[in-house]
Amino acid sequence: MSDNKNMKLKAVLLVVALVALFVGAISYHAISQNSAGKKILYYTCSMHPSVKSDKPGSCPICGMNLEPVYAGDDAMTNAPSSTTNSAAASDSKPTPYPLTTCVVDGMKLGSMGAPYVFVYKGQEVKFCCAGCRPQFDQDPDKYMKIIKDAEAKK
């Protein structure tokens, strides 16, 4: 009976080890494909893009692993981006952001490091962190209305 339990335990451990090895190999392959031939510029936190380091490590604010930013990446999280389709709109200066808080979660700008800034249809938009951008992208009209209402009150 004891030998039967030992065999089952060994079989389970073998399966777990093989699954872990397989997952590790897939992860390594995906990472090396993304970074093949690209130079790492610096490491940053996906939630706190103001955090930059020349070495891998963890974010001093939230403890998350710092992610590499590669030369030639389009997703430079601190770089302002424009989601306008009009060349004329991108040539003109955007309307300044009227709030002192993040339009998505209401946190005071600067409370989590440098605000994440980008331009949407000629309007400067600021978030407390890059993590708020996906929520904005789900319903930009909702958040643009908040910004326009704040601008009208000034």
Residue 55 CB partners (closer than 8 Å, separation 6+): 43
Residue 97 CB partners (closer than 8 Å, separation 6+): 117, 123, 124, 125, 126, 147
Q: List pLDDT tens digits, range 26-38.
A: 665 545 445 566 7
Q: List pLDDT tens digits, range 130-152.
A: 889 899 999 999 999 999 999 89
Looking at this protein, which amino acid is placed at residue 79? A
